[in-house]
């Protein structure tokens, strides 16, 4: 194990040999704000506090409880779409379980899983490309289960365009499912 002072001296010697400055001189030039507490004092001396800035309300009196934000109503349009079941599993392990759409996973794969679970034909993809040969832009239209979705913008590869189109298609399926589940409830 090396001594911290020796490392500091070795680094300073290497900097000096390379024609550089000592570590403290280098740090002063690299970070011109000599005292960071000055910058912190400027920020904290402002009239509004963090609570006031974020909530737009004055800070409650000392000893009172800060109210927590109220949860949105189920009837609100702002309800998270991704809490709606994507499909109900009918085969394999976990039969009868509601499956949610996962934003982190490939939307193309999830659409194919949906088709396999629901015994529906696989999606049909139509590819179009535009632009110069060295800089192509792709647009994909997917036709699936009576729904049509087009990639909202051009993509640099067919794979990316398929992902965009399937993400749009999944959103349409979730909207349709949300309406169906609202009717059942």
pLDDT band at 97 (very low <50, low <70, confident <90, very high): confident
Q: Is the pLDDT at 179 greater than 90, yes or no? A: no
Class (C level, CATH) for 81-184: alpha beta
pLDDT for 60: 60
80 burial level (CB within 10 Å; 0-12, 13-18, 19+): exposed
Strand partners, 130: 137
> Which range has the worst mean pLDDT, 19-28, 74-83, 172-181?
74-83
Predicted pLDDT at 65:
56
pLDDT in tens, 10-50: 877 777 777 777 777 777 777 766 555 555 555 455 555 55
- Phi and psi at residue 154, in whole multiples of 5°? -70, 145
- Domain boundary assignment for the chain: 4-55, 81-184
Return d(Cα 132, Cα 139) in angstroms, integer.
14
pTM for the model stands at 0.55
Cα gap 166→151, rounded to integer Å = 8
In percent, the amount of the chain with pLDDT more than 70 equals 68
Q: Summarize the confidence of residues 92-104 as an average pLDDT.
A: 85
pLDDT of 55-72, one tens digit each? 566 656 655 555 555 554
SS (H, E, C) the chain: CCCHHHHHHHHHHHHHHCCCCCHHHHHHHHCCCCCHHHHHHHHHCCCCCHHHHHHCCCCCCCCCCCCCCCCCCCCCCCCCHHHCEEEECCCCCCCCCEEECCCCCCHHHHHHHHHHHHCCCCCEEEEEEECCCCCCEEEEEEEECCEEEECCCCECCHHHHHHHHHHHHHHHHHHHHHHHHHHHC
Between β-strands 124-130 and 137-144, what pairing exists: parallel, antiparallel or unpaired?
Answer: antiparallel
Mean pLDDT of 51-58: 60
Please indicate whether residue 114 or residue 13 has the higher confidence score (pLDDT).
114
Residue reference for tokens 């059942």 = 184
State yes or no: pLDDT of 120 exceeds 80.
yes
- Residue with the bigger pLDDT between 71 and 112: it is 112
């Amino acid at each position: 194990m090396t001594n911290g002072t020796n490392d500091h001296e070795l680094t300073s010697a290497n900097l000096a040999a390379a024609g550089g400055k000592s570590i403290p001189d280098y740090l002063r030039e690299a970070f011109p704000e000599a005292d960071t507490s000055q910058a912190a004092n400027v920020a904290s001396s402002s009239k509004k506090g963090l609570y006031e800035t974020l909530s737009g309300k004055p800070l409650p009196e000392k000893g009172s409880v800060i109210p927590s934000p109220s949860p949105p109503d189920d009837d609100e349009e702002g309800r998270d779409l991704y809490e709606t079941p994507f499909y109900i599993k009918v085969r394999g392990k976990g039969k009868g379980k509601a499956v949610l759409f996962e934003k982190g996973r490939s939307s193309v794969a999830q659409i194919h899983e949906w088709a396999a679970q629901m015994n529906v034909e696989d999606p049909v993809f139509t590819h179009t490309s535009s632009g110069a040969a060295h800089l192509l832009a792709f647009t994909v239209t997917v036709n699936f289960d009576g729904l049509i979705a087009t990639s909202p913008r051009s993509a640099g590869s067919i794979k990316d365009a398929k992902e965009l189109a399937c993400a749009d298609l999944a959103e349409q399926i979730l909207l349709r499912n949300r309406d169906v589940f609202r009717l059942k409830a």
